[in-house]
């Protein structure tokens, strides 16, 4: 199987590509190819399936994530360091698989996985089945009340309903807080509901002793991170179930 004809990293893994790296995939809805970073070592906590498309990574703080709406839509960074692939690209990735019966089209949504590691080496993860975000016209909102498995907690902290939660940046305030621009105060773009307890796109911590509120963080991590050490390593990635 030629890698540029597959739709996601799990297909590549099943085809024998077992080393993590950069691969071309075919975006079916956009009808174009694109390069992605594939994590081929992490196993799905339920199916043990490997092969994930990495959509965000923070490993050394070499990229500024305090950016405006346009950058978060297009993406930034490089695959050899920290990066964000872009909201429009994520929206294309979650529309990779569909079935059509008559006039009805049904989309199969991928699992989102978040992996965390703090400066003490403690680790946690969360997986969310049927991850979906809306289109640009709906501010790339997270759809549905996502419930996770794992020990890291919910993606959108403070979410009280199953309604959409739009993405916000310092120059495009779509959060639910009428008093504070949470992306501006947190210095990073995110899906904010009613608070900024979760912000994986906040500033990278300066070290183990960085106690600033304006750093990348994950408020739902109640097990493992007992010393409340700042995060050092973060990834977000998508995986479709085996066809």
pLDDT tens digits, 202-231: 999 988 877 777 888 887 665 566 667 789
Instruction: Identify the pLDDT of residue 159.
Output: 47
Rounded Cα distance, 39 and 18, in Å? 9
Q: What is the average pLDDT across 182-202?
A: 87
Q: What is the average pLDDT across 130-141?
A: 95
Domain 3-239: give its CATH architecture.
Alpha-Beta Complex (3.90)
Higher pLDDT pick, 201 / 148: 201
The chain-wide mean pLDDT, for the chain, equals 88
Higher pLDDT pick, 18 / 206: 18
Q: Domain coordinates of the chain in residue numbers?
A: 3-239
Instruction: Identify the pLDDT of residue 198.
Output: 83
Is the pLDDT assigned to residue 157 strictly greater than 60? no
Highest averaged pLDDT of the listed ranges 8-22, 136-150, 228-242: 8-22
Confidence of residue 240 (pLDDT cuts 50, 70, 90): very high
Segment among 41-55, 61-75, 118-132 with least mean pLDDT: 118-132
Within the chain, residue ranges assigned H as helices are 9-14, 69-74, 87-93, 182-186
| Structure-token pair, residue 3 | 């890698």
Residue 227: is it exposed, middle or buried by C-beta count within 10 angstroms (0-12/13-18/19+)? exposed
Assess contact for 231 and 125: CB atoms under 8 A: no
Percent of the chain with pLDDT over 90: 57
Assess contact for 12 and 24: CB atoms under 8 A: no
Contacts by residues 67-70 (CB-CB < 8 Å, ≥ 24 positions apart): 67/169, 67/189, 68/169, 68/170, 68/171, 68/172, 69/169, 69/171, 69/172, 69/189
Is the pLDDT assigned to residue 55 strictly greater than 50? yes
Instruction: Identify the pLDDT of residue 223.
Output: 59
pLDDT in tens, 67-90: 999 999 999 999 999 999 999 999
Q: How many residues in the chain? A: 243
**What pTM, to 2 d.p., does this model score?**
0.92
Is the pLDDT assigned to residue 160 strictly greater than 50? no
């Amino acid at each position: 199987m030629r890698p540029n004809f597959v739709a996601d990293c799990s297909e590549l893994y099943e085809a024998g590509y077992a080393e993590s790296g950069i691969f071309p995939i075919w975006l079916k809805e956009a009808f174009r190819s694109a390069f992605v970073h594939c994590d081929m070592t992490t196993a799905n906590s339920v199916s043990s399936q490997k092969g994930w498309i990495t959509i965000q990574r923070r490993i050394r703080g070499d990229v500024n994530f305090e950016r405006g709406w346009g950058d978060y839509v297009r993406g930034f960074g490089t695959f050899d360091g920290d990066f964000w692939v872009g909201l429009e690209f994520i929206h294309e990735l979650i529309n990779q698989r569909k079935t059509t019966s008559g006039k009805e089209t049904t989309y199969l949504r991928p699992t989102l996985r978040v992996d965390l590691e703090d400066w003490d080496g403690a680790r946690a993860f969360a997986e969310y089945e049927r991850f979906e975000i809306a289109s640009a016209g709906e501010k790339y909102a997270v759809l549905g009340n996502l419930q996770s498995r794992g020990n890291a907690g919910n993606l959108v902290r403070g979410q009280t309903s199953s309604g959409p939660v739009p993405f916000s940046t310092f120059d495009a305030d779509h959060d639910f807080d009428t008093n504070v621009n949470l992306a501006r105060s947190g210095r990073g773009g995110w899906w904010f509901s009613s608070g900024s307890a979760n912000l994986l796109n906040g500033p990278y911590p300066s070290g183990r002793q960085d106690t600033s509120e304006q750093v990348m963080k994950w408020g739902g991590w109640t097990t493992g991170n007992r010393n409340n050490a700042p995060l050092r390593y973060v990834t977000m990635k998508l995986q479709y179930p085996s066809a």
